[in-house]
Amino acid sequence: MIKKSRIIIRWIFFILIFVAVIKYVNFVNTGHGRPDMIEIFCPIGGFYSIIMWLKTGLVDHIHPAGMIFILAGSITSLFCMKGFCGWICPVGSFLDGLTFIREKIVGQNVPNINMSSKFKFILETFLSLIKFGVVIILVYLILRLPGQIMPIIYQRSVLPENISLYQFWIDMFYGKHNLALGIIVGILILSCFIPRFWCRYLCPLGALYGILNVFSLLRIKKETTCIDCKLCDEKCPMGLSVYASKLRNNTRCIACLNAMSECPNNSLYLSFLGSYKIKPIVYPLILLLLYLGIIGFAVKKDMWVSKLTPRTYAKTFMQYGIVKPWMIKLLSEDATGGSHPDF
């Protein structure tokens, strides 16, 4: 039941975000219907907006949805583990799809990479240093910025983040950014051999949520009824040693509950505040109510939709070399004092 629930929830979010990408491409071409959900791909801007909000009281009006996505992910990580990574994240769902293709279609002719424990420890330590190092440096640099200059940097850097990301993918399609393309292809290839390679070792957002996961109010614990079958280790997509780990709420656990659903003796369980047992089937309900509740609250308080006008987007697109007929028409009307249609 848990497995089916997770598959359904992941694919619902994946389809919603895929549709948002299609709508954003349409927005670039027509100037109509910009989807705020596209902000999920710009977590750095969202984190920056949160710090600026705390330091200056200024609420992000350019990409408010990005700030809400980070807030929702952080709060859910503190209350009910790193569920965003295991149940919502579109990148994680895509990588799970690669694993499914390899296991079900290609078959066991392409097995998981088996490494010696020593080499695995060295590799994981090295990659973890990179992942957490990036997060620590990024957080440090943002936190040390004086509040009075944060809005200036915000105007210059945060405004075009979606546009620059869009331009990056377009340029890469036309043969630019070959190094970045090689890295992406390498990650995808490694993900075919090592499930969720990106999530395990490289994702900085997962690292941030992982730190919060250590302090989560909801935890995975083990009963004394464990029969040492170690099926929990085999079914963990993050390659964790669930059986031997003293801290199951570690920085890499994505709260997928695979280990729990595979346990033949029901020796793994969810504990709230260390005292109250929670049924596994209730977990996705808690996660979704909290995550979507935060987003719903933001929508109600008008902290979700971007306040930028189409003219501002048109100017910014053209600054990045993206020119469409609607942009020329809109800015030409401004220059000649013509009508200003609402988009």
Which pLDDT value is given to residue 17?
95
Instruction: Tell which residue, 74, 72, 63, has the closest CA to residue 157.
Output: 63
Whole-number percent of the chain with pLDDT over 90: 48
Which pLDDT value is given to residue 112?
52
- Model pLDDT for residues 23-78, shown as the tens digit of each residue: 999 999 999 999 999 999 989 999 999 999 999 998 888 889 999 999 999 999 99
Whole-number percent of the chain with pLDDT over 70: 92
CB 193 within 8 A of CB 110: yes
Considering Cα of 115, then 118, then 121, then 124, what sign does the dihedral take? Answer: negative
Interval 163-189 mean pLDDT: 90
- Model pLDDT for residues 89-115, shown as the tens digit of each residue: 999 999 998 888 887 776 654 445 566
Strand 218-222 with 268-272, pairing: antiparallel
Interval 168-196 mean pLDDT: 89
- Confidence check: pLDDT of 337 > 80: no
pLDDT band at 343 (very low <50, low <70, confident <90, very high): very low
DSSP state of 251: S
Which pLDDT value is given to residue 86?
93
Average predicted confidence (pLDDT) for the chain: 87
Per residue, the 3-state secondary structure of the chain, as one string, reads CHHHHHHHHHHHHHHHHHHHHHHHHHHHHHCCCCCHHHHHHCHHHHHHHHHHHHHHCCCCCCCHHHHHHHHHHHHHHHHHCCHHHHHHCHHHHHHHHHHHHHHHHHCCCCCCCCCCHHHHHHHHHHHHHHHHHHHHHHHHHHHCCCHHHHHHHHHHHHCCHHHHHHHHHHHHHCCCCHHHHHHHHHHHHHHHHCCCHHHHHCCHHHHHHHHHHCCCCEEEEECCCCCCCCHHHHCCCCCCCCCCCCCCCCCCCCCCCHHHHHCCCCCEEEEECCCEEECHHHHHHHHHHHHHHHHHHHHHCCCCCCCCCHHHHHHHHHHCCCCCHHHHHHHHHHHHCCCCCCC
Which pLDDT value is given to residue 108?
52
- Model pLDDT for residues 256-305, shown as the tens digit of each residue: 988 888 888 888 888 888 778 888 889 999 999 999 999 999 999 999 99
CB 258 within 8 A of CB 234: no
- List the beta strands (DSSP E) in the chain: 218-222, 268-272, 276-278
Helix (H) or strand (E) holding 191: helix 178-193
